[in-house]
Amino acid sequence: MTTIISYNINGIRAALKKGLAEWMKETDPSILCVQETKAHPEQVSDRHVFESMGYHQYWHSAEKKGYSGVAIFTKEKPDQIIEGCGNPLYDSEGRIIRADYGDWTLLNCYFPSGTSGDVRQDFKMGFLDFFQNWINELKKERPNLIIVGDYNIAHTEIDIHDPVRNKKNSGFLPEEREWMTKWFESGFTDAYRHLNPEKVEYSWWSYRAQARARNKGWRIDYQSVSDTLKDKLQDSFQMNQAVHSDHCPVYVKIAL
């Protein structure tokens, strides 16, 4: 049984100061995928704590320091690690890292946000188009995919605390939600929603207006599994008690 946790930690150095390593030791996932490391590995003096817990670690950082970045911490050594997707536009921002294990592949992704304005929203929509086409090609070579991370989109009304007021906000725009619908129609299953069709849980809360305390959140962190793997799903939930970030971790257990 493989347990995979995806977690936008909003800065690994800050998260480590808030007890990330202790939480990880207690939780003991097979694989932890983190987004928004906001650091190059050499900037993280206590990164060796992960090795002491039995994890191999692989990083793909943005060229710009203190920005974006993804990392995989895994107990089983992958057959292959590939940093990026081959597109310098996105690889310079450290958004995707791939690990191959036997006949299945894990992708840890940090999708762009469009909240800062039109330029980044256009960048986000460009990324979504590219990503779908890139995955369509990758599936021909590696059909058993698990694609985890911060997608920066709440898919349906059940995934956001106030769908009416947010319908014109980046992250819940009709075109973004339509992309997600097509994404899940293209051969992927939303692990959490598959196992919890009507449950209301969120994975991100604004730091403003006590949003987390009032549970005014969004579910924007996903674990998409190829439809070929969906019958192997055992459990999935949001780990709301973990408070190292403005996101919470998302957990999946799968019989691989």
Integer CA distances (angstroms), 211 to 95, 169, 191, in order? 27, 17, 25
Residue in the block written with tokens 């650091």: 39
Count Cβ atoms within 10 A of the Cβ of residue 65 and give its class: 0-12 exposed, 13-18 middle, 19 or more buried: exposed
Count of Cβ atoms closer than 10 Å to residue 72 Cβ: 24
Q: How far apart (Å, rounded) are the C-alpha atoms in residues 252 and 249?
A: 10
Count Cβ atoms within 10 A of the Cβ of residue 129 and give its class: 0-12 exposed, 13-18 middle, 19 or more buried: exposed
Give the type of residue at 27: T
Residue 57, token pair as written in the block: 């670690």
Q: Would residue 150 show up in a list of annotated catalytic residues for this protein?
A: yes
Among 150, 159, 190, 221, which one carries the catalytic annotation?
150
- Give CA angle at 170 (165, 175), nearest 5°: 95
Contacts (Cβ under 8 Å, ≥6 apart) of 150:
6, 8, 35, 36, 109, 110, 111, 204, 220, 221, 247
Contacts (Cβ under 8 Å, ≥6 apart) of 104:
142, 144, 145, 146, 229, 256
Give the three-state DSSP class for 11: coil
Catalytic residue set:
150
